[in-house]
Structure 1
Amino acid sequence: MSNKTVLMIVGDYVEDYEAMVPKQILETLGVAVHTACPDKKAGETVATAIHDFEGEQTYSEKRGHNFAVNTDWQSVKEADYDGLVIPGGRSPEYLRLDERVLEIVRDFAKHEKPLAATCHAAYVLTAANVVREKKCQAYPTLRPELELAGAVWVEPSEGLDSVHVDGHLVTAPAWPANANWMREFARLLGIAL
């Protein structure tokens, strides 16, 4: 089992499957997952959104569950963590405006610690300015933002089940890639599978 500890940054309307399932996968591997949200304390929750692919031109959105925050935001210290997970959903739209969130992301990038981002989490990566010349995937509608930030778009070869690793950065297009996304993140953490 692992002795690793990772930070997962969430906010209201984080994508349900991109927070809950990766947390459970990592915990199954023995990884301690500290969930934190700006301005929230351990014991509080964030609302999740469930995005589904039902045949329309874009995903649908429904209210999900209450996702537990188990770490006080004010106590987050980057040095305490071996890796960072940023789920997608609606929360990245406003998390990217929080300077402390961006500081944390920049610190993980600077120290080349494993950093996992999926779907709309690319908003946070671009706002933190950590994707220049990095090969990335995200939800396809974020391609322009990634390219404007200097990233190299990698077309998902397996549809939404795809994943891409570039150094310490592992990105995926959406929750259907959770198994592949977390497998590659675990490898970056040094966990033998």
Structure 2
Amino acid sequence: MSAAALVPVALVGALVGLVVPSLARRFTTPPELTRAGLEPRPGGWAWLSPVVAAVVFAGLAVARGDDPALPVFLAVAAVGLVLAGIDLACLRLPDPLVLAAGLLALGGLTGTALLAGTPGRLLGALAGAAVAGAAHLLLALLPGSRLGFGDVKLAAVLGLPLGWLGRDALLAGLLLPHLLHGGVVLGLLAARRVRRDTLLPLGPALLAGAWLAVLLG
């Protein structure tokens, strides 16, 4: 993708990043969270959101500039940024937003496959969702697992665009999130910022790993 085309995509990403904090706050202050003791932590990351979103959008544009499904990837990324903010704030991945991301991915990829005459890529996307969802469901069912079913559903959604790209991207998208999450956990433990029993969000790692898998693919 040329620089002239890349700049507008990055600017759109920055604009998306401006509204991400306010959208995330809508899902982090419901009464049931307060009753459960899951008070959202202060959103000091808000100023960084436009920068992160611009980088995410620009990276996708560079990696997938020739793919007719690029708008679908950008739409899923936009919802994913909101989900990451919510999960960081209160360890929660709201079903309506995960469903919205899934519908955007499925509907967009279906339309792209039909218009491009490549139904095989749609089958790959569906297979990716099934594999990613099943793998994380098994992880969630393991004794002592801290993987939530919100993470399982998000992994299945992210399997759609990863499966669209093929086996290598899907495998990278399955492995990278857990490598990233493990590295962060080890770093926080070494810095004594958390304890071994501290619950940490996996959603941001799932999203970041999927993004890196797209870039590498």
Decide: shared fold, TM above 0.5: no
Task: Name the one with the larger helix percent.
Answer: 2
Per the normalisation by structure 1, the TM-score is 0.33
Q: Which structure shows the bigger proportion of residues in strand conformation?
A: 1
Normalising by structure 2, report the TM-score.
0.31
